[in-house]
């Protein structure tokens, strides 16, 4: 599940542990959205970034 916060016109989401992260993110993405993948290298987020980069934009 994603926890979402909106402030100053920006929306930020945080994923819970054990969630299929890429599926959750792509479910809520809209054209023009930007995704910042941030976290410790030990979390393996570079794989998440690669998967998101491969998601079709249209």
Q: What pLDDT digit, counting tens, does each position of 16-32 carry?
A: 665 577 887 888 888 88
Domain annotation covers residue 42 = yes
Domain span holding position 39 = 19-58
Give the number of domains in the chain.
1
Domain annotation covers residue 39 = yes
pLDDT band at 9 (very low <50, low <70, confident <90, very high): confident
First to last CA, the chain: 24
Domain annotation covers residue 45 = yes
In 1-58, the DSSP E strands lie at 2-7, 10-15
- The pTM (predicted TM-score) of the whole model is 0.61
Give start and end residues of each alpha helix (H) in the chain: 21-28, 45-53
């Amino acid at each position: 599940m994603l926890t979402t916060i909106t402030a100053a016109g920006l929306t930020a989401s945080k994923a819970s542990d054990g969630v299929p992260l890429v599926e959750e993110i792509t479910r809520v993405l809209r054209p023009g959205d930007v995704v910042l993948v941030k976290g410790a290298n030990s979390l393996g987020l570079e794989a998440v970034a690669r998967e998101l980069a491969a998601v079709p934009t249209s």
